Structure 1
Amino acid sequence: MANTMAELFGKTDVIEDCRKAVHNGEFTSSLRSRITAELILKDGTRRIFRCRSNDRQKALHEVLTFVEAVEGATGERVIWRFKGEKTYRFGSEMPVEFSKSWNFKIGFRKLLAEFFDLD
């Protein structure tokens, strides 16, 4: 037995087809929410900046440009972070991202230096 009038008459409902496609995961990447950043000014006020991009690298450049503009307008440093992160960043300088292999190499060298004289 048909559940809807569209099924009864053999016509397809565009809205229902789109809903099914979304639930099946065809458009999940386009429906992802935009990346937001939290900015803290010197007086303690918190502002939220929503990036236009879903891509992390593009959003980083958007936030850095915005922070640079805010710092130029206020003449003060701005502390900011992406939503969901625990670390804050200062100013509009590009943050240095270290790879896991780099951290492993440094840790391994320190461990070797502790047990053996490498000088």
Structure 2
Amino acid sequence: MTTPDTTVLTTKLETNNVITQCPALFISAPASNQGKTTVTAALARYHSKQGYIVRVFKTGPDFIDPTILEKASKHPVYQIDLWMGGEHHCRQLLYSAAKDADLFLIEG
């Protein structure tokens, strides 16, 4: 199975000189209530139904939207927050998820 064609960016993560790659799509908007979660959930559901393993990430704290995104992607949603978790923690989340993911969706 090949990765989805909607690739906008390939995320390269390096840990202990091992590079892991995963196609990534960033969903953003200039303000809240613009439909980011709706678009992200639709993309996650579509690609999951195509048989891809989709990992979804949200920037900043959010406790309601991840539930919607988890149902759409069929996988846990990860919070990426440089201020709260630090760069190393965020890199580790991405690296671990990239090992078996076909696509990253990053909403924020």
TM-score, normalised with respect to structure 1: 0.29
Bigger relative contact order, structure 1 or 2 (CA pairs below 8 A, ≥6 apart): 2
- Structure with higher strand content: 2
